[in-house]
Amino acid sequence: MHNRKGITIIEIITVVIVISILAAVALPQYMTAIERGQVGRVRAKVDVIRKAEAAYFSINMRYTTSLSLLANDVPEANAGLTNGSDGEWTYSIAESTDQESYTVTAVRKQGVVSRYSLKEVHIDQDGQVVDKTGETFHPLAR
Go through the domains of the chain in sequence order and give each one's CATH number. 9-132 (3.30.540)
Of 23-27, 29-33, 66-70, 82-86, give the range with the top mean pLDDT: 23-27
Q: Is the separation of the CB atoms in 31 and 114 below 8 Å?
A: yes
Q: Which residue has the higher pLDDT, 17 or 82?
A: 17
Identify the burial level of 26 via C-beta atoms within 10 angstroms of its C-beta, where 0-12 means exposed, 13-18 middle and 19 or more buried: exposed
CA distances from 92 to 6, 61, 99 (A): 62, 20, 16
pLDDT of 12 over the 70 cut: yes
Q: What pLDDT, on the 0 to 100 scale, is given for residue 126?
A: 81
Q: Tell me, yes or no, if the pTM score tops 0.75.
A: no
- pLDDT tens figures, 29-58: 888 888 778 778 888 888 888 888 888 888
